[in-house]
């Protein structure tokens, strides 16, 4: 059990500083009938704040010196509380009871227990003690009361009482003892007791009529006819026999009266249940957000009259113009104006709510920077600038701006620039944006976040790179060699054009020692000749099909290069050192930035670079020579279409001839005194780019795009296989 001390009182932040009297549970007087706070009550200046439900219950119990037992874990969570400027202990306990009921809990007085206990509403009826002294015997939110009846009409009274009880309540009739046991939330039991008292009569013709209302609310009709009955008593000395009660569903009233009096009641009800003239007014709140202001008006103004279906009330939140469009009666409009004018006097520091926005499709840091830029540029200035109208409504146009006369334009960013107007914080762990500021600014931020935080489509970029190479080499040459002996001297004559001199003792040609005509004296030998005719043809085809998936407006890079290292020499006064100097890249690089446009169009910003090494470096400390061909453009193509890039063709032809002067120029005979070669090569490059937009929210299309590649690689995709099966 948890006993509360007076320290819990501090949790209400001064709401009860003006409380003048203390009411003790042991000396509780009969509570005066309470009515809901009216919007025109000067004391009902709304003090709004969020607080823990446990704190609210503890503070309210302390205000009335009530001992209460509850499990703190069951009351975890925060509630939004709106209290009068100077609430009484009774009002505070009533607010706490309503907050408990909204969470499915209530307070009961258990049998033999001196304190109240917080339990679930659905279990309260079986745990609450039976009160024989009426409602005054306990302050519990859920009560079970014994109702003695004077007359024998127990069952009809029980049937009538059921109409005013909620689903969590109930009534049991005891015909022998002429009594009822009524259990429900305290306000419903109070109404049931009044109804039972009215029905407990000896008139045999007394019954209950349910009268549907078309225009006015049941609470308004009941209050009006009650005042009319008091006026009739002053004039004629008596009131009309019968009682009128508001139905809990808010669509009708319950009439309890003798049959001879019913026509009078029916005439009065239909006389006052007339349509009131309606008026539509636009309200432009400044300090608080549209949703907060709308909820406040619903709870304070309309809640004071009861949210009845017949109540002529329609409120629309117009985010385009930043206003509330309210259609209702002049009386209700007056209450709304009074409430909005009062909350305008609240200092700006009194309400600075904190909201958390989930960012699902973008980086939270990126979105935070974008919003800060909009705030810096004054993007909210038009929505938040003061209106020239006064707080009162404009009768001629039916438009009012009750909160537009004092607020300043909000222009803020993060950290120091935001000051005390708006503070934005990015939580990377949960990808949420936390904002603190005035409600109106937060409403505008919420709208911007909704529009900016959208899932962008993805683009599948496929590149088809084709390389075709063709080469042909022809070489024709003759090498002559003569060996002779003259005067015991060996003479060797030969023509060297790269083929080498033949060795009589070998069937192979030696390595060439040079080109041109040469002579040398050797051992005796034979005459020999070497003839070479060679033709080489090369054809090649290289195909590369890389794929990459990229977000809209992001860069996709396809890179396939060969890195060739080169050395670096560090010469010093003592010893020269050689180290790694770096690498030189050559290959294929494709960079694509897709942008999804309207009408299933794609804007492609692409760069295609084709490079290759064209030789070797003469110096090992220098990178090899490299040739690069680059294409860069921006095109617009339909979704799924291909762009042909390239078609580059590189051709190379070379011819070489080596011969003996004069002899090599002789017709026909010149072929025996020279060497001729011819080289031809051609390379062609083609690049095809195809981009397709992937719009599926469940990424189902990606499964089918990768199905072919997974099958070719022999990898199971993990999806279940659907196979036919015979069922016999």
Write down the residue that tokens 């006052």 correspond to. 272
| pLDDT-above-90 percentage for the chain | 7
CA atoms within a 13 Å half-sphere pointing along the CA-CB vector of 403: 27
Same domain, 432 and 341: yes
Q: Domain for residue 214, yes or no?
A: no
- Rounded to 10 degrees, the C-alpha dihedral 178/183/186/187 comes to -70
Count of alpha carbons within 13 angstroms of residue 196, beta-carbon side: 31
Task: Report H helices in 253-363.
Answer: 262-272, 290-297, 330-344
Nearest CA to 403 out of 422, 415, 416, 389 is that of: 389
Q: Alpha-carbon distance 577 to 521, whole Å?
A: 48
Same domain membership, residue 356 and residue 369: yes
Task: Compute the average pLDDT of residues 76-93.
Answer: 78
Is residue 36 pLDDT above 50, yes or no? no
Place of tokens 């496929």: 462
pLDDT value, residue 530? 65
Question: Which of 165-179, 192-206, 280-294, 692-706 shows the lowest per-residue confidence on average (mean pLDDT)?
Answer: 192-206
pLDDT at 605 over 90: yes
Is residue 21 domain-resident? yes
Shortest CA distance to 159 belongs to which of 259, 35, 256? 256
Among 224-228, 242-246, 419-423, 635-639, the minimum mean pLDDT is found in 419-423
Residue 268 zone, left/alpha/beta (φ > 0; ψ -120 to 50; rest): alpha
650 bridge partner residues: 683
Percent with pLDDT over 70 in the chain: 74
Residue 146 located in a structural domain: no
Q: What are the distances in angstroms from CA 459 to CA 155, 465, 588, 645? A: 74, 19, 21, 19
631 pairs with which residues across the strands? 608
Q: Does position 500 have pLDDT exceeding 60, yes or no? A: no
Does residue 579 sit within a domain?
A: no
User: Band of the pLDDT at 501, cuts 50, 70, 90?
Assistant: low
pLDDT score of 184: 93
> Residue 182: pLDDT above 90?
yes
Which is higher by pLDDT, 250 or 425? Answer: 425
Q: Which residues contact 360 (CB under 8 A, 6 or more apart)?
A: 431, 453, 455
| Residue 190 clears pLDDT 80, i.e. is over it | yes
**Cα–Cα nearest to 200, from 170, 144, 155:** 155
> Residue 389 has what DSSP assignment?
S
Residues 686, 700 share a domain: yes
Same-domain pairing of 321 and 448: yes
Does the pLDDT at position 608 exceed 60?
Answer: yes
pLDDT at 384: 53
379-392: average pLDDT: 50
Which of 170-179, 378-387, 511-520 comes out lowest in average pLDDT? 511-520
Residue among 342, 349, 337, 351 nearest 45 (CA): 342
Per-residue pLDDT band at 238 (split at 50, 70, 90): confident
Q: For 419-470, what is each residue's pLDDT tens digit?
A: 346 888 888 888 999 988 777 788 888 888 888 888 888 899 988 888 888 8
pLDDT of the residue at 371 = 87
3-state SS class at 183 = strand
Q: Phi then psi for 180, rounded to 5 degrees?
A: -125, 150
Of the candidates 48, 70, 103, which is a domain's last residue?
Answer: 103
**Distance, CA of 464 to CA of 459 (rounded, Å):** 16
Model confidence at 527, in pLDDT bands (50, 70, 90)? low
Specify whether 593 is located in the same domain as 709: yes
pLDDT band at residue 349, thresholds of 50, 70 and 90? low
Mean pLDDT lowest among 29-43, 71-85, 218-232, 494-508:
29-43
Same domain, 425 and 549: no
Structure tokens at 190: 């109070």
399 inside domain: yes
pLDDT at 187 over 60: yes
Contact 522, 427 (CB under 8 A): no
pLDDT at 370: 87
Q: Which domain holds residue 510?
A: 474-538
**pLDDT value at 223 more than 80:** yes
Most confident of 59-68, 220-229, 394-403: 59-68
Can you tell me the mean pLDDT for 212-220?
81
pLDDT band at 576 (very low <50, low <70, confident <90, very high): low
Contact 50, 79 (CB under 8 A): yes
Residue 603: predicted pLDDT: 92
pLDDT over threshold 70, residue 176: yes
408 neighbors 319 (Cβ within 8 angstroms): no
Same structural domain for residues 613 and 529? no
Sheet holding 179-185, edge to edge: 130-131, 142-148, 179-185, 170-174
Output the pLDDT for position 12.
42
DSSP 207-236: EEEEEE-SSS-HHHHHHHHHHHHHHHHHHH
Residue 607 lies in a domain: yes
CA distance 498 to 676: 11
CA gap 165, 156 in Å, rounded: 15
Q: How many whole angstroms separate alpha carbon 671 and alpha carbon 668?
A: 6
Among 219, 258, 209, CA closest to 227: 219
Q: Based on the domain organization, do 500 and 557 belong to the same domain? A: no
**Whether 519 and 553 share a structural domain:** no
| Angle, CA 700 vertex, CA 697 and CA 706 arms, to 5° | 135
Rounded to whole angstroms, the Cα distance separating 404 from 401 reads 6
The pLDDT, as a whole number, for residue 592 is: 93
Specify if 571 maps to a domain.
Answer: no
Report CA-CA distances (Å) from 316 to 245, 303, 321, 601: 31, 17, 12, 39
Q: Of 471, 612, 474, 473, which Cα lies nearest the Cα of 539?
A: 471
Is the pLDDT at 355 greater than 70, yes or no?
A: yes
Rounded Cα gap, residues 499 and 675, in angstroms? 9
pLDDT of residue 95: 87
Number of domains present in the structure of the chain = 4
Residues 573-583 have a mean pLDDT of 69
Question: 109 in a domain, yes or no?
Answer: no
389-404 per-residue burial string, b: 16 or more CB within 10 A, e: under 16 = bebebeeeeebbbbbb
Average pLDDT over residues 140-165: 87
Claim to verify: residue 551 and residue 513 sit in the same structural domain: no
Q: What is the mean pLDDT of residues 492-497?
A: 59
Q: How far apart are CA 593 and CA 606, in angstroms?
A: 6
Q: Which of 350, 344, 347, 441 lies closest to 48, judged by CA?
A: 350
Rounded average pLDDT over 79-87: 72
Residue 108 has pLDDT above 50, yes or no: yes
Q: Is 532 helix (H, G, I), strand (E, B) or coil?
A: strand
- In a shared domain, residues 364 and 378: yes
What's the chain's average pLDDT? 75
Q: Three-state SS for 165?
A: coil
pLDDT at 118: 93
Each residue's pLDDT tens digit, 662-708? 777 777 777 677 777 788 888 888 888 999 888 877 777 777 777 77
Which has more confidence, 567 or 360? 360
Looking at the structure, tell me whether residues 614 and 530 fall in a common domain: no
Note the pLDDT of residue 479: 67
């Amino acid at each position: 059990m948890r006993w509360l001390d007076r320290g819990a009182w501090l949790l209400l932040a001064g709401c009860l500083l003006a409380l003048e009297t203390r009411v003790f549970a042991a000396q509780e007087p009969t509570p005066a009938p309470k009515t809901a706070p009216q919007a025109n009550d000067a004391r009902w200046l709304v003090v709004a704040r969020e607080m823990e439900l446990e704190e609210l219950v503890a503070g309210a119990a302390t205000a009335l010196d009530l001992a209460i037992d509850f499990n703190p874990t069951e009351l975890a969570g925060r509630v939004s509380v709106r209290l009068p400027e100077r609430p009484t202990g009774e009002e505070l306990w009533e607010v706490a009871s309503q907050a408990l009921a909204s969470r499915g809990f209530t307070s009961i007085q258990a049998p033999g227990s001196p304190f109240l206990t917080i339990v679930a509403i659905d279990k309260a009826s079986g745990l609450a003690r039976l009160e024989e002294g009426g409602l005054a015997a306990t302050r519990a939110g859920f009560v079970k009361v014994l109702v003695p009846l004077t007359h024998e009409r127990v069952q009809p009274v029980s049937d009538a009482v059921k109409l005013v009880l909620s689903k969590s309540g109930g009534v049991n009739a005891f015909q022998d003892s002429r009594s009822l046991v009524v259990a429900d939330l305290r306000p419903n039991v109070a109404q049931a007791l009044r109804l039972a008292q009215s029905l407990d009569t000896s008139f045999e013709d007394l019954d209950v009529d349910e009268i549907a209302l078309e225009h006015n609310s049941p609470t308004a009709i009941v209050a009006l006819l009650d005042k009319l009955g008091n006026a009739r008593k002053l004039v004629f000395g008596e009131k009309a026999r019968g009682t009128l009660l508001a139905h809990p569903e808010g669509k009708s009233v319950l009439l309890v009266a003798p049959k001879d009096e019913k026509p009078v009641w029916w005439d009065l009800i239909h006389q006052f249940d007339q349509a009131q003239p309606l008026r539509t007014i636009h309200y432009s709140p400044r300090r608080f957000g549209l949703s907060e202001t709308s909820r406040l008006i619903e709870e304070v103004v309309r809640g004071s009259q009861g949210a009845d279906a017949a109540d002529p009330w329609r409120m629309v939140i117009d985010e385009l113009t930043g206003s509330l469009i309210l259609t209702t009666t002049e009386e209700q409009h007056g209450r709304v104006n009074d409430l909005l004018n009062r909350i305008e006097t609240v200092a700006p520091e009194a309400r600075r709510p904190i909201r958390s926005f989930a960012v699902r499709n973008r980086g939270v840091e990126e979105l935070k920077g974008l919003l800060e830029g909009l705030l810096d540029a004054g993007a909210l200035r038009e929505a938040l600038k003061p209106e020239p109208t006064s707080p009162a409504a404009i009768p001629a146009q039916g438009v009012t701006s009750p909160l537009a006369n004092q607020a300043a334009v909000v222009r803020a960013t993060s950290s120091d620039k935001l000051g005390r107007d708006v503070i934005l914080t990015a939580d990377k762990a949960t990808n949420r944006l936390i904002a603190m500021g005035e409600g109106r600014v937060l409403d505008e931020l919420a709208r911007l976040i909704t529009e900016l935080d959208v899932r962008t489509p993805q683009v599948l970029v496929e590149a088809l790179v084709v390389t075709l190479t063709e080469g042909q080499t022809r070489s024709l040459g003759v090498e002559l060699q003569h060996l002779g002996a003259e005067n015991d001297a060996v003479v060797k004559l030969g023509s060297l054009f790269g083929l080498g001199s033949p060795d009589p003792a070998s069937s192979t040609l030696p390595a060439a020692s040079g080109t041109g005509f040469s002579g040398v004296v050797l051992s005796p030998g034979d005459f020999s000749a070497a003839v070479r005719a060679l033709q080489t043809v090369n054809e090649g085809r290289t195909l590369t099909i890389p794929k990459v998936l990229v977000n809209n407006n992001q860069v996709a890079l396809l890179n396939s290069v060969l890195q060739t290292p080169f050395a670096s020499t560090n010469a010093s006064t003592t010893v020269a050192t050689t180290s790694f100097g770096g690498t030189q890249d050559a290959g294929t690089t494709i960079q694509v930035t897709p942008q999804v446009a309207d009408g299933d169009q794609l804007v492609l910003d692409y760069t295609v670079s084709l490079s290759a090494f064209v030789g070797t470096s003469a110096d090992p400390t220098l990178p090899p020579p490299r040739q690069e061909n680059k294409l860069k453009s921006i095109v617009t193509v339909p979704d799924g279409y291909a762009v042909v890039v390239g078609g580059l063709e590189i051709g190379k032809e070379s011819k070489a001839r080596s011969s003996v002067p004069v002899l090599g120029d002789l017709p026909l005979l010149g072929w025996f005194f020279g060497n001729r070669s011819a080289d031809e090569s051609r390379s062609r490059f083609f690049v095809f780019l195809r981009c397709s937009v992937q719009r599926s929210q469940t990424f189902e299309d990606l499964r089918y795009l990768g199905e072919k590649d997974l099958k070719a690689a022999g990898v199971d995709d993990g999806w279940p296989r659907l196979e036919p099966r015979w069922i016999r």
